[in-house]
């Protein structure tokens, strides 16, 4: 019985996803969100590396 319920939920989720992706504006918003996430991730990596290098320089840790 659990499998039938899981399959029904999966089909429902898939149907909802298809409805969202049919709208071009939604696709554009998703793509823009992904670009922002990538930029944010890159910025965080850069900040992390800068702090890490600063700490290494102050403490002499290599």
Instruction: Report residue 1's pLDDT band, with 50, 70 and 90 as the boundaries.
Output: low
Query: Which has more pLDDT, 61 or 50?
Result: 50
Within-domain flag for 53: yes
pLDDT at 26 exceeding the cut of 90:
no
Within-domain flag for 32: yes
Per-residue pLDDT, 4: 77
How many separate domains does the chain show? 1
Within-domain flag for 19: no
pLDDT at 17 exceeding the cut of 60:
yes
* Full residue range of the structural domain in which residue 51 is found: 24-62
Decide: helix, strand or coil at residue 29: helix
Do residues 8 and 15 make contact, with C-beta atoms less than 8 angstroms apart? Answer: no
Query: Which has more pLDDT, 4 or 43?
Result: 43
Within-domain flag for 35: yes
pLDDT in tens, 29-48: 889 999 999 999 999 999 99
């Amino acid at each position: 019985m659990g499998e039938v319920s899981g399959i029904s939920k999966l089909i429902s989720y898939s149907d909802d996803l298809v409805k969202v992706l049919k709208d071009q504006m939604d696709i554009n918003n998703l793509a823009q969100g992904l670009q922002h996430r990538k930029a944010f991730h890159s910025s965080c990596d850069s900040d992390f590396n800068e702090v890490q290098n600063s700490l290494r320089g102050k403490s002499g840790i290599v």
